[in-house]
Chains A and B, each alone.
Chain A
Amino acid sequence: MLLTALSGLALANDALEQPLAAGGDAQRGRAVFVDREQGHCVICHALGSVAPAGNVGPALDQVGARLTAAQLRQRIVDITQVKPDAAMPAFYRREGLNRVAATHAGKTLLDARQVEDLVAFLAAQR
């Protein structure tokens, strides 16, 4: 309670309970995680079986044991709600961004289904 009050926003937005779409699929999520044309999360995150990867972000092996689906969703949607200075893109945010290139303006990096596929894939990493 006190902690929540002290860290304000950060803990208040730790989790996003409401799925953005129905039917998240771990198999498709794996592809979103790896594909250059989709999430391409491997540019920053290693995850055991998935190679090759960068190390800008933490390795995500067992991330499903550390974080709930709702916490995973919030981190993918907009991690700055959890950690204001996180060096990770907000993958499902279109408002309040600066200087977005015209071709991408008003669009999110991933669509709702891709986010839920990622949540299913990462929740299964335990």
Chain B
Amino acid sequence: MKRAVALALALLAATALAEAPRSGLAYQGEDIRRLQADDFANPAMLWAERGAAAWQQRRGTANKSCADCHGAAEQSMRGVAARLPAWDARLQRVSTLDQRINACTVREQGAAELPPESEPALALQTYLALQSRGMPLRVAVDGPAGPVFYIGRELYRTRIGQMNLACTHCHEQKAGKTLLAEQISQGQPTAWPAYRMDWQAPGSIERRLRACFLGVRAEMPAYRSEDLVALQLYLVWRAQGLALEAPGVRR
């Protein structure tokens, strides 16, 4: 028995991550963990409520709501957020939840694109992510999504910015260590959209990633750019098996 455990540990150590995948929640303080666990205290839940309202709202030249086409989100959207980003046959590229919401907004509702990080964009993302809460993340990286996956993996390993650090340096080599007072996690994408105390607002994973680029003094990739989509695909692949916990709370 002991030997089997030792062998399992040795195998784990041989993979890219020295430890098994762990949600970033494990690296947060007790106060944050408590906030996230309580739907009535979690400030991001307000955006989920706004998203539920936006789901019902008729918009655009088509004057249709999301619900007019998709019915109850509890059924039609269950599991969707846990398997994105993914190859999108309609858009002919890998797209995120945010981009799919936008595609419907523009093409089906005949309304204007929702600007990145705008309230309606975050509210709908949060509401739809909630429909997959607790479900394991799983993305396809073979087939047409393959090239984008490799772009993300490469970027994840490349030293960037004036600080000359790659994502791997902090989130693989140094996960569990502290940068002054802040504990570095494995950089798992499970919590997003999340309410971040530092922002006093909810934000998407793209906003969180841009903060890491800024931190190493690298040029921030544009919202919805191929670089950010590719990083998300790589991150979700790397997190496979962890449960989606959005809407999260982070420091």
Contact = CB atoms under 8 A, between A and B. Distances in A.
Interface of A: 42-44, 52-56, 80, 85, 87, 89-90, 93, 97-102, 104, 107, 109
A89 B158 contact: no
B165 interface: yes
Contacts of A93: 164
A101 B161 contact: yes
A80 B218 contact: no
A80 B165 CA distance: 11
B236 to A, nearest CB: 22
A53 B180 CA distance: 5
Given A54-B181, A93-B164, A99 B170 contact: no
Contacts of B159: 97-98
Contacts of A104: 161-162, 217
B218 A87 contact: no
Nearest to B216: A89
Given A87-B170, A101-B214, 10 more contacts: A87-B169, A97-B159, A97-B161, A98-B159, A99-B218, A100-B219, A101-B161, A104-B161, A104-B217, A109-B162
Contacts of A85: 169, 173
Contact of A54 (B158, B160, B177, B219): B177
Interface string B167-185: 0011001100111110010
B161 A100 contact: yes
B47 to A, nearest CB: 30
B180 A89 contact: no
Contacts of A52: 180-181
Contacts of B178: 54-56
A70 to B, nearest CB: 21
Contacts, number: 69
A97 to B, nearest CB: 6
A27 B17 CA distance: 41
A55 B173 CA distance: 12
5 contacts: A56-B170, A56-B178, A87-B174, A100-B161, A109-B162
Q: Is the interface of B mostly helix, strand, loop or mixed?
A: loop
Interface residues of B, number: 24
B222 to A, nearest CB: 13
A109 B165 CA distance: 13
Nearest to B179: A54
B179 A56 contact: yes
B18 interface: no
Contact of B184 (A56, A98, A99, A107): A56
Interface string B127-170: 00000000000000000000000000000001111111100011
Contacts of B160: 97-100
A89 B177 contact: no
Interface in B182-237: 184, 213-214, 217-220
Contacts of B213: 99
B162 A97 contact: yes
B182 to A, nearest CB: 8
A56 B162 contact: no
A42 B180 contact: yes
Nearest to B176: A55
Contact of A89 (B163, B214, B220): B163
B48 to A, nearest CB: 34
